[in-house]
Every structure is written in structure tokens, then in C-alpha cells.
Structure 1
Amino acid sequence: MTTKLEVDRHKLYDTDYLRWIETTVEKLRTREYSNIDWENLIAEIEDMGRSERRSLESNLVVIILHLLKWQFQPDQRSGSWKGSIVEHRRRIRKTLKDSPSLKPDLEEILAECYADAVEQASAETGLSVETFPPSCIYSAIEVLDSDFLTDEMIQG
């Protein structure tokens, strides 16, 4: 049986998210545990973890995309590609500093992101998907290495 208090807590979550957060934080501070919307609070905390991983994935795709473009279109190289790589490496360093538990999965996450980066690279360059290697040619160490962006990169 659902009580009026439970309905009110869910209604606040659905109608004013910021107020729900403020109310939930205040209830946690004052230890009013019986009045907390636990179901939505747990869902939000779970989503925070997924969000960290999605952020890492998104930044990896951008770096791989620009590394591929840098490697397979050397005549098109631009400062914006290099700047994007630098920016997204910085974001990943911050993410890994804040959530070091993502580090052990980095190679796996990198491999998962590669197909998305190839698809995007193909769309942006006009090169066919088959132009790019079928699996990721960069290690996580290379992708995050500030010095990894050289003319010596193997040409496609």
C-alpha cells in the first residue's frame, strides 16, 4: 500500500527535480531517514556511476576519432583536431582522478569505443569504414599520452 508521503516524495521528484535534491539533502543532513525518497535516491546514485563511464566513453571516442583523422588524413591536419585531443585527454585525466576504479577497465572501454569512433571518422572524412583497421590500433597508454601525436604514426 502506497502512503500519501510516498506519493508526495515521488511527485516532487517528477515535478521539481532541484527542489527534490535540496529536500533530500536536507533530510539526509537532519537524519530524517524515514522521510527520504529512497527509490529515486538510489536510482540517481546508480545513474551517477553510469554517467562517469559514459563521460569517459564519450571523451575516448573523440580522441580516437581525431587520432584516426590525424593518421589517415595527414594533409587535412589542423590545430582544432590537436586541440580537441588535448582537451579530451584533460577531461579523461580528471575523470580517472575522480574515479580511479575506471582505470582497470580502460583497455576494454577503449576497444568498445573504437567502432563508434570509426563510424564517426568515416562520416566526417568521407573515407569508407574499411579504410580503418577493424580493431583499435591505439593502446590506452597512447591515447592518454600527451606526447602521442607524431608524424611517425603509421599512414593508412
Structure 2
Amino acid sequence: MKTNLYDKDYCLWLEETVQLLREGRLTELDINNLIEEIEDMGRSEKKAVKSNLKILLCHLLKYKYQPERRSRSWRSTIFEHRDRLDDDFADSPSLKRYFDEVFEPCYQKARKQASIETGLPLTTFPINCPFTSERVLNMDYLPE
């Protein structure tokens, strides 16, 4: 398979790569681009975990520190991002370790985002996360 097919027609490159793999024609594979694609898939999965976690933490903070503004929309967003994380962990249990690794930095970003979205001073939101990772993922937990 020619490497330039990857640059010219990505979908065709994928189809041909799958066919070559199925047929066991490994010497004809575009190995460099295949490796790059597999690495990108892992990065993409991790990026999704971080994104969902930041959104979830931000909404939990807003829910806790702006109780007068609580809405079904906030609860829906909280549920949606928990559900996405739950699906990610079901598909790739090792992503739970990554979730734990990025929990604190994601909280710090969510804290700043919550301050921007609510107009409340950053100091309203504790420096240390007021929620355990277990509570953050608990489908039934809402901070009061």
C-alpha cells in the first residue's frame, strides 16, 4: 500500500488497511501511519476523559455554590457527562487510572471555569476539591 493514499483519501486508506490486516498481508501495510493512528486513538480517548471530567466538575461546583440557579439543565449535564465517563470506563477500564491522575488538574480548571460562568469570585470555590472522585462518578450524587 502506498503511503500517499493516507494523505489523499483517508477513508480509502482505512478500508485498504483493514482488508490487508484481514488477509494477513502485513508486509504491505503502511506501518508508520497505522502506528500514528493507533497512538492518536489513545490520545483522543484520554482527551475525552479530561473534557468530560472538567465539565462535570464545573457543573457540580455551580450546583453546590449557586443553589438558587439550580436547574434541570444542570442536572442533565451532570448526568450526561457521568454517563459518558461510565461508558469510557466500560470500554477501557484502564482509563479510570488516567481519570485519577488528571482529577486534580481538571478540578483546578473547572474551578476557574465555574468562577467565570457564575460571576462568583474564584475564592468562592475551594482550592481542594470538595468532592471525592467516587462522588463525582456516582450517578445519584448531587451536592447540597
Aligned residues: 144
Give TM-score scaled by structure 2 length. 0.93
Specify the structure having the higher radius of gyration (Cα). 1
Unaligned runs of 5+ in 2: none
Offset from partner CA, 1:119-151 (integer Å, 9 cap, x none): 221221112222211132211100011221043
Match of 1:20 among 2, 13, 18: 13
- Partners of 2:74 and 2:66 in 1: how far apart? 11
Match of 1:88 among 68, 81, 89: 81
Give TM-score scaled by structure 1 length. 0.86
SS in 1 for 2:14: helix
| Deviation for aligned residue 1:52 | 1.2
Unaligned runs of 5+ in 1: 152-156
- Partners of 1:71 and 1:21 in 2: how far apart? 46
- Partners of 2:143 and 2:125 in 1: how far apart? 18
Alignment partner, residue 41 of structure 1? 34
1:103 equivalenced with 2:96 (yes/no):
yes
Bigger relative contact order, structure 1 or 2, given CA contacts below 8 A and separation 6+? 2
1:134 equivalenced with 2:97 (yes/no):
no
Percentage identity across paired residues of the two chains: 47
Counterpart of 1:140 in structure 2: which amino acid? S
Counterpart of 1:133 in structure 2: which amino acid? P
Offset from partner CA, 1:53-102 (integer Å, 9 cap, x none): 11111111111010000011111111100000011111111100111012
- Whether the 8 Å contact between 1:65 and 1:117 is mirrored in structure 2 is yes
